């Protein structure tokens, strides 16, 4: 039990007060003089039928002396609580020491399934920075939910179906060159696709050819399917190199095509429920009552669409995984799409429609053309990742030329920097790409956090002391140590908040604060001192900090090298 829970118990002890209410009321005061926790008593007026100031006084008396809080003061309508610093240090540090990489883990999700639809690039199209964001955010959410005891199902909903594949096949039949495609699959296929559109403007009949090929594909035509499969395999090979670098995997790579044979039933059901309307030859679900444009279900040429597949996929996933939540991680430009089809699910009468959640994120922009190649083209993602690793290698060669395993470490730091840059701000904000800023070893960056972790590790190694619990924690009650321990203690709550809002940045911010607080402590207090008792106490704090930084990075999908 943490100190906040202890406090709640102490407050409600003699009264019939709601635990949740008290928990919501308890604040962390902005200034230290106001205690470690505060309880504003305004909202308790109804329970006590007294003025807030009187309530504060009564509660203070009722709680009385106890070992958890060394001092309780009342300040008008506020009660301020000061924790017993030594007991606090003991409780937190001993918990971390015994739980280690499990510190912060919980079982609140046990027995519940969470489906996370993330990454989901499109076959035969480049994997772009938007997909990178989806991958990185989705992967972190997966780890966060899993750490809290949920059973996660990660799905890569590949864009591998739709009329564009008909066009691609038509273009390939006309202008395709196998060798060129094998050498550089995505770029070549994309070029074919662009050429198709250019030519179609001059030759309107071409569009029909594309449509025909897609129809063939949907109907299971052998040639169409063979070519489509080839495009899919080649694209996946490229995507997998990126997933390997990022250390990301999926439980299922079921793309849009997976639902091809499942859509007819859903369309039938929409019809039976009276939701389908004919509009200019197409079938739609009218959403005027909800201030949205109609949701397109079937095009006038009979082809299904992106929303048709999402509706079908959601129903399939509910039946298959019985999720308690299904998340969809995409950039915010798809907001309307998700609102529309999720509304259709609701209109179909599925009471679980409110378990579907779009998790939108902002765009990626860059300063000084960081996302361009020298020729001014958009940089390919794998080149971008490689560039980051290359730049870090150069920095390491300058800072620490003697380091062993430089390549491996540069890889962890270079990739970590990109991931951290993506996750360190609220996800709806646009991400700015600036090499110098994100690779800096002393900003709010991935390398800074990793460097702090490595520094803690190196002190521990030099210390050559077994890390154990202490008999006396008084050495750790100075303000710097106490501040650090407070941050260590708040780590588990931060993970829960990150889960509740699907916001990995809470964890990123927390470990930035933790690293800064640690570095303050480290500069103020030498660790490897003569006095054994003091040294042991400080090393325990270093160990706890290292452990929590590592756990935090791991929840973001970032590795923590021991040296750098
Ligand atoms: N393939 C889509 C894109 O690149 C993202 C798919 C997101 N997932 C979904 N179930 N719609 O924009």
| Phi, psi angle pair for 118, to nearest 5° | -145, 170
The catalytic residues are: 125, 128, 131
Q: Residue 204 is encoded by which pair of tokens?
A: 């309107």
- Tell which atom from ligand 1 comes closest to the C-alpha of 338: 11
320 found inside a domain: no
CB distance 559 to ligand 1 below 6 Å: no
Task: Confirm if 364 and 133 have CB atoms less than 8 A apart.
Answer: yes
Over 90: is that where the pLDDT of 524 sits?
yes
Strand locations in 379-486 (E): 431-433
- Which residue among 115, 117, 120 is best mutated to probe the pocket of ligand 1, counting the most ligand atoms within 8 A of its Cβ? 120
Q: The tokens of 513 are what?
A: 């604060």
* Residue 449 belongs to a domain: yes
Which tokens sit at 539? 């090393």
CA of 126 to the centre of ligand 1 (A): 14
Report the candidate in 417, 451, 423, 419 with the shortest Cα–Cα distance to residue 436. 417
- State the pLDDT at residue 272: 97
Cα dihedral: 306, 307, 312, 316 (round 10): 90
What is the number of alpha carbons within 13 Å of residue 534 lying toward its C-beta? 8
CA distances from 420 to 142, 279, 295, 541 (A): 16, 47, 37, 25
238 lines ligand 1 (CB under 6 A): no
CATH number at residue 397: 1.10.730.10
> Three-state DSSP class for 122?
strand
Please report, for the domain that includes residue 53, its CATH number.
3.30.1360.70
501 Cα: distance to centroid of ligand 1 (angstroms): 21
| Residue after which a domain boundary falls, among 20, 54, 83 | 83
The response to whether residue 328 sits with its C-beta less than 6 Å from ligand 1 reads: yes
Res 377: pLDDT? 78
When pLDDT is cut at 50, 70 and 90, the band that residue 365 belongs to is: confident
Question: Is the CB of 341 inside a 6 Å radius of any atom of ligand 1?
Answer: no
Q: How far is the CA of 137 from the centre of ligand 1 (A)?
A: 14
The residue out of 83, 107, 138 marking a domain boundary is: 83
Ranges 64-68, 152-156, 160-164, 432-436, most confident: 152-156
285-310 pLDDT tens trace? 999 999 999 999 999 988 889 999 99
Q: Is 122 in the pocket of ligand 1 (CB under 6 A)?
A: yes
- Ligand 1 centroid–CA 522 distance in Å is 46
297 and 285 Cβ atoms separated by less than 8 Å: yes
Better-scored residue on pLDDT, 341 or 32 = 341
Instruction: Tell me how far apart the alpha carbons of residues 231 and 185 are, in angstroms, rounded to a whole number.
Output: 8
Domain that holds residue 483: 381-556
Tokens 């995997």 -> residue:
249
Pocket test residue of 330, 332, 336 for ligand 1, highest count of atoms within 8 A of CB: 330
Give the pairing of strands 151-155 and 356-361.
unpaired
Here the tokens at position 29 are 């005061």
pLDDT in tens, 260-271: 999 999 999 999
CA 473 to CA 537: how far, in whole Å? Answer: 7
Confirm whether 385 is domain-assigned. Answer: yes
Instruction: Yes or no: say if 76 and 34 are a contact pair by the CB < 8 Å rule.
Output: no
> Nearest residue CA, atom 3 of ligand 1?
121
Residue 185 lies in a domain: no
Tens of pLDDT, residue by residue over 500-511, are 999 999 999 999
Evaluate whether residue 274 is within a structural domain.
Answer: no
The pLDDT, as a whole number, for residue 379 is 85
The ipTM value here is 0.99
Location of structure tokens 């305004």: 42
Q: How many domains does the chain have?
A: 2
Query: Which pLDDT does position 136 carry in this prediction?
Result: 98
* Angle of CA points 536, 538, 542, to nearest 5°: 110
Q: Quick check: CB of 411 below 6 Å from ligand 1? A: no
- Ligand 1 mutation target, pool 159, 340, 364, most atoms within 8 A of CB: 159
Q: Does the residue 22 lie in any domain?
A: yes
Residue 228 belongs to some domain of the structure? no
231 alpha carbon – ligand 1 mean position (Å): 18
Of all protein residues, the one whose alpha carbon is nearest to atom 6 of ligand 1 is 120
pTM: 0.95
Q: What is the dihedral of CA 5, 7, 9, 14, to 10 degrees?
A: -170
Please say which residue of 83, 98, 128 terminates a domain: 83
| Residues 6+ away with beta carbon under 8 Å from 134 | 118, 119, 120, 329, 330, 331, 361
Ligand 1 binding pocket includes 561 (Cβ within 6 Å) = no
How many CA atoms, within 13 angstroms, populate the side-chain half-sphere of residue 264? Answer: 4
Query: Is there an atom of ligand 1 within 6 Å of 307 CB?
Result: no
Pairing of strands 431-433, 364-366: parallel
The 10s digit of each residue's pLDDT in 453-481 is: 999 999 999 999 999 999 999 999 999 99
Cα distances (Å, whole numbers) of residue 430 to 332, 366, 423, 553: 10, 10, 11, 22
Q: Is residue 184 part of a domain?
A: no
List, in order, residues 6 or more apart from 195 with CB less than 8 Å away.
Answer: 171, 175
């Amino acid at each position: 039990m943490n100190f906040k829970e202890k406090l709640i118990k102490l407050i409600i002890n003699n009264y019939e007060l709601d635990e949740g209410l008290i928990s919501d009321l308890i604040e962390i005061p902005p200034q230290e003089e106001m205690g470690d926790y505060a309880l504003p008593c305004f909202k308790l007026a109804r329970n006590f039928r007294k003025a807030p100031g009187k309530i504060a006084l009564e509660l203070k008396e009722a709680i009385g002396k106890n070992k958890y809080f060394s001092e309780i003061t009342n300040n008008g309508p506020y009660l301020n609580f000061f924790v017993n610093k030594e007991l606090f240090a003991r409780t937190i540090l001993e918990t971390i020491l015994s739980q280690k990489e499990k510190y912060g883990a919980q079982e609140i999700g046990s027995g519940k399934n969470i489906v996370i639809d993330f990454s989901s690039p499109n076959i035969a199209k480049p994997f772009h920075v938007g997909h990178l964001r989806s991958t990185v955010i989705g992967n972190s959410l997966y780890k966060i939910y899993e750490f809290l005891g949920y059973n996660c199902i990660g799905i890569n909903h590949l864009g591998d179906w739709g009329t564009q594949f008909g066009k691609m096949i038509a273009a390939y039949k006309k202008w395709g060159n196998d060798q060129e495609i094998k050498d550089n699959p995505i770029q070549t296929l994309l070029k074919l696709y662009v050429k198709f559109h250019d030519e179609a403007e001059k030759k309107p009949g071409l569009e029909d050819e594309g449509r025909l090929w897609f129809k063939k594909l949907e109907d299971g035509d052998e040639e169409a399917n063979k070519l489509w499969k080839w495009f899919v395999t080649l694209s996946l090979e490229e995507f997998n190199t990126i997933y390997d670098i990022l250390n990301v995997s999926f439980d299922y790579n079921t793309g849009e095509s997976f639902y091809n044979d499942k859509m007819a039933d859903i369309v039938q059901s929409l019809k039976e429920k009276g939701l389908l309307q004919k509009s200019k030859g197409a079938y739609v679900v009218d959403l005027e009552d909800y201030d949205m444009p109609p949701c397109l279900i079937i095009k006038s040429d009979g082809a299904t669409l992106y929303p048709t597949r999402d509706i079908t996929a959601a129903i399939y996933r509910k039946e298959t995984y019985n999720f308690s939540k299904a998340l969809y991680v995409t950039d915010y430009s798809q907001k309307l799409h998700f609102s529309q089809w999720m509304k259709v699910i609701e209109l179909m009468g599925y009471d679980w429609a409110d378990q579907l959640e779009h998790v939108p994120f902002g765009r990626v922009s860059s300063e000084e053309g960081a996302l361009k190649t020298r020729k001014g083209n958009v940089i390919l993602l794998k080149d971008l990742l490689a560039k980051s690793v290359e730049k870090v290698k150069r920095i390491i060669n300058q800072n620490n030329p003697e380091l062993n395993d430089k390549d491996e470490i540069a890889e962890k730091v270079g990739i970590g920097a990109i991931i951290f840059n993506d996750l360190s701000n609220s996800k709806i904000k646009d991400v700015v790409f600036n090499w110098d800023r994100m690779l800096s070893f002393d900003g709010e960056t991935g390398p800074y956090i990793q460097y702090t972790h490595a520094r803690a590790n190196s002190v521990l190694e030099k210390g050559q002391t077994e890390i154990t619990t202490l008999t006396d924690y008084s050495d750790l009650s100075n303000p710097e140590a106490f501040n650090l321990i407070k941050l260590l203690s708040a780590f588990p709550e931060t993970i829960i908040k990150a889960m509740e809002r699907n916001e990995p940045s809470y964890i990123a911010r927390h470990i930035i604060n933790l690293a800064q607080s640690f570095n303050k402590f480290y500069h103020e207090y030498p660790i490897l001192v003569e006095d054994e008792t003091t040294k042991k106490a400080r090393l325990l704090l270093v160990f706890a900090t290292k452990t929590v930084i590592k756990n935090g990075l791991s929840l973001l999908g970032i590795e923590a090298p021991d040296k750098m």
